[in-house]
């Protein structure tokens, strides 16, 4: 079953724009998907998409691409994504009409961390406003290209201090580019002038540890704040100067999923980590008494006694010097012990700690590790690893269904997206499950692509754009 596709007028407009080269810069033609999770980071588009698709079904085009976990973004006649090959950090532009490569640009890679099993230097999704395409690579930093591939500026940045590499994506908010730099030491929110690449301000986040959440500019129409889900806390910063506006406590110690805004003006956030909410960390004195063989007051990984201290040593050792100090241990142990797995709705506003006054509701089951929630048509959709779907009333948190099986086992790294009454979510194994939006789970199709899918798909002009381990597909009529 397929849904609306470009009209003859729109198809003609795209053909005209292709002939005009870069004249489309700054002007959105038809439906565009400009950043991680599309318009306003919502994961929602209009125009529908084919509910059945596969390697030989409803394929408009397929283009081979080098490895990467970034999602495709779309503006005008182009599809943009990043990739990594031959130790080069690549930005690639494809034709939206037929998938042919229009241009590619390379940046040199610095030291690359290989901690995560699925890690890749090309994990951050680009962001575009039609006048620039901004990309971020942990081993390099930020860069901006014109739509025709001309480099506008570059801003080298230190590699994030985390064995998993970078996972957040840049976003454009007014004249700023925002980048969440949560890491094991030196966490901050970076704001850069989008025209020049110069730092506008940075907001230090000393209590935040390793995190992979993408900032949410809010309100969507005219952003005034940037909201970040980080260690134990959801925090809003004023865009004009980076000063904290308000925060809500009660999140896990590590956030991968990103916050999302709803049509009701609320902000929704959900996160899960193993062992959250269980106080399990021994005291520093007991660790030193048992393991400090050379009596120097610090622990190496070999000295750390079996249990949480040894198991989590790479996380506890924040500066990665191989020596665990009391200060490092106690800060990280507090984050572990105070961690709460949760989904919550937050009413923006207030000043300082608004946990007691602005949390609308909470839920503690069916929580995602990586997949960002989907706020769509008055409901909040969650996908937990293992292909377990949950649907809540966005206004009240009431459960419509909880942890029901989608029929696609495995982890879920891609976030759910929706259009015209249908939700689509991919398993890591590459099965795209399409189900109806509503109060009951009604699976319409399970579409196997035959290879891994980690990137969140894009929806525009009646097409579904999906990045697999080796290719980008455009599915449509």
Q: Which two tokens stand for residue 411?
A: 């982890």
Token pair listed for 458: 């894009």
Decide if 2 is inside a domain: no
Is the distance from CB of 454 to CB of 118 less than 8 angstroms? yes
Does one domain contain both 242 and 208? yes
Between strands 458-460 and 422-426, the pairing is: unpaired
The residue written with tokens 């980080």 in the block is 230
Tokens of 40: 């306003």
Say how many CA atoms lie within 13 Å of 366 toward its Cβ.
24
Q: Estimate to the nearest angstrom the gap between the alpha carbon of 169 and the chain centroid.
A: 6
d(CA 264, CA 270): 17
Please check whether residues 191 and 212 belong to one and the same domain.
Answer: yes
Q: Would residue 471 count as lying in a domain?
A: yes
For residue 117, the model assigns a pLDDT of 64
Number of domains in the chain: 2
d(C-alpha 68, C-alpha 338), whole Å? 34
pLDDT of residue 29: 42
Q: Are residues 18 and 108 in the same domain?
A: yes
Q: How many CB atoms lie within 10 A of CB 255?
A: 31
The answer to whether residue 310 scores a pLDDT higher than 60 is yes
Judgement on whether residues 123 and 15 belong to the same structural domain of the protein = yes
**pLDDT tens digits for range 52-71:** 999 999 999 999 999 999 99
pLDDT at residue 27 is higher than 60: no
Cβ-contact 109, 137 below 8 angstroms: yes
Instruction: State CA 350 to chain mean position distance.
Output: 26
Res. 20: pLDDT tops 50: no
In this structure, the number of other CB atoms found within 10 A of the CB of residue 311 comes to 11
Given a cut of 80, whether residue 25 has pLDDT beyond it is no
The label of the residue with tokens 């290719």 reads 471
Look at the pTM and tell me if it is higher than 0.85: yes
Cβ count within 10 A of residue 33: 27
Whether 388 contacts 272, CB under 8 Å: no
Residue 396 has a pLDDT of 98
ω into residue 219 within 30 of 0, thus cis? yes
Q: In whole angstroms, what is the distance from residue 418 CA to residue 366 CA?
A: 19
pLDDT at 342: 98
Per-residue pLDDT of 105-147, as tens digits, reads: 999 988 886 655 667 899 999 999 999 999 999 999 999 999 9
What CATH number does residue 302 fall under? 1.10.238
Quick check: 160 and 140 in contact, CB under 8 A? no
pLDDT-based confidence at residue 45 (cuts at 50, 70, 90):
very high
pLDDT digits (tens, 9 = 90+) for 7-19: 333 333 333 333 3
> 169 and 228: one domain?
yes
Check whether 419 has a pLDDT greater than 90. Answer: yes
451 — pLDDT class (breaks 50, 70, 90): very high
Q: What percent of the chain has pLDDT over 90?
A: 83
Over residues 85-95, the mean pLDDT reads 96
Whether residue 224 contacts residue 238, with contact meaning beta carbons closer than 8 Å, is answered with yes
Nearest to 267 by CA among 295, 230, 235: 235
pLDDT digits (tens, 9 = 90+) for 313-370: 988 998 889 999 999 999 888 888 899 999 999 999 999 999 999 999 999 999 999 9
Considering 301, 319, 337, which residue would you say is the last residue of a domain? 337
pLDDT of residue 22: 37
CATH number of 20's domain: 2.130.10.10
* CB-based contacts of 182, cutoff 8 Å, min separation 6: 168, 205, 208, 209, 210, 211, 212, 213, 228, 230, 231, 255
Domain boundary among 301, 316, 337: 337
Residue 396: domain span: 8-277+339-475
**pLDDT grade, residue 278 (50/70/90)?**
low
Structure confidence at residue 279 (pLDDT):
66
Q: What is the pLDDT of residue 111?
A: 84
Q: Residue 381's closest CA among 392, 371, 368, 370?
A: 392
| Residue after which a domain boundary falls, among 337, 372, 406 | 337
Is 1 among the domain residues? Answer: no
pLDDT of residue 284: 95
What integer pLDDT is reported at residue 31 of this predicted model? 86
Co-location of 193 and 242 in the same domain: yes
My answer on whether 259 and 314 are in the same domain is: no
Over 80: is that where the pLDDT of 187 sits?
yes
Mean pLDDT value across residues 185-201: 97
Highest mean pLDDT among 270-284, 318-332, 379-393: 379-393
Q: pLDDT value at position 110?
A: 83
Domain co-membership, 146 together with 193:
yes
With respect to residue 3, please indicate whether it lies within any of the assigned structural domains: no
Same domain (yes/no): 310, 367: no
* Chain position carrying tokens 């381990």: 469
User: Do 412 and 458 belong to one domain?
Assistant: yes
C-alpha angle 377-464-177 in degrees, rounded to nearest 5: 75
What per-residue confidence (pLDDT) applies to 114? 62
Are 311 and 445 found together in one domain?
no
Q: 396 and 265, same structural domain?
A: yes
Across 4-8, 291-295, 344-348, least confident range: 4-8
Average pLDDT, the chain: 91
Q: Look at residue 36 in the predicted model and tell me its pLDDT.
A: 98
User: Is 351 part of any domain?
Assistant: yes
């Amino acid at each position: 079953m397929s849904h609306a596709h470009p009209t003859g007028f729109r198809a003609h407009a795209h053909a005209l724009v292709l002939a005009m080269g870069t004249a489309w810069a700054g002007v959105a033609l038809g439906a565009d998907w400009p950043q991680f999770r599309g318009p306003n980071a919502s994961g929602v588009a209009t125009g529908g998409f084919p509910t059945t698709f596969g390697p030989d079904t409803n394929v408009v085009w397929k283009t081979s691409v080098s490895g990467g976990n970034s999602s495709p973004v779309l503006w005008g006649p182009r599809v943009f994504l990043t990739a990594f090959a031959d130790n080069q950090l690549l930005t690639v532009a494809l034709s939206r009409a037929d998938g042919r490569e229009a241009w590619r640009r390379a940046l040199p890679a610095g030291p690359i961390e290989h901690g995560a099993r699925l890690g890749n230097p090309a994990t951050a999704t680009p962001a575009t406003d039609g006048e620039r395409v901004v990309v971020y690579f942990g081993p390099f930093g930020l860069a901006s290209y014109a739509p025709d591939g001309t480099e506008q500026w570059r801003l080298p940045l230190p590699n994030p201090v985390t064995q998993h590499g970078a996972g957040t994506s840049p976003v454009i908010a007014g004249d700023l580019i925002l980048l969440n730099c949560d890491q094991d030491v030196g966490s901050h929110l970076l704001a850069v002038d989008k025209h020049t690449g110069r730092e506008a301000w940075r907001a230090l986040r000393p209590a935040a540890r390793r995190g992979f959440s993408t900032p949410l500019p809010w309100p969507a129409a005219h952003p005034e704040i940037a909201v970040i889900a980080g260690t134990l806390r959801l925090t809003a910063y004023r865009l004009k100067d980076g000063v904290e506006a308000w925060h809500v406590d009660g999140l896990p110690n590590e956030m991968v999923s990103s916050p999302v805004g709803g049509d009701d003006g609320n902000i929704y956030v959900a996160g899960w980590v193993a062992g959250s909410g269980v106080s399990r960390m021994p005291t520093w004195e007991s660790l030193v008494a048992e393991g400090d063989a050379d009596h120097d007051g610090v622990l190496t990984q070999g000295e750390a006694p079996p249990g949480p201290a040894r198991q989590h040593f790479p996380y506890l050792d924040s500066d990665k010097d191989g020596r665990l100090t009391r200060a490092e241990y106690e800060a990280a142990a507090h984050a572990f012990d105070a961690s709460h797995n949760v989904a919550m709705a937050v009413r923006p506003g207030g000043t300082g700690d608004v946990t007691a006054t602005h949390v609308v509701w909470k839920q503690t089951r069916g929580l995602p590790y990586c997949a960002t929630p989907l706020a769509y048509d008055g409901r909040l959709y969650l996908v937990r690893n293992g292909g377990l779907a949950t649907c809540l009333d966005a206004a009240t948190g009431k459960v419509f269904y909880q942890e029901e099986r989608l029929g696609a086992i495995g982890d879920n790294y891609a976030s759910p997206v929706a259009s015209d009454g249908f939700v689509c979510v991919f398993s890591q194994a590459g099965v795209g499950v399409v189900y109806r939006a509503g109060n009951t789970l009604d699976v319409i199709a399970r579409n196997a692509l035959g290879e891994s899918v980690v990137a969140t798909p894009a929806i525009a002009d009646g097409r579904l754009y999906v990045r697999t381990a080796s290719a980008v597909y455009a599915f449509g009529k």
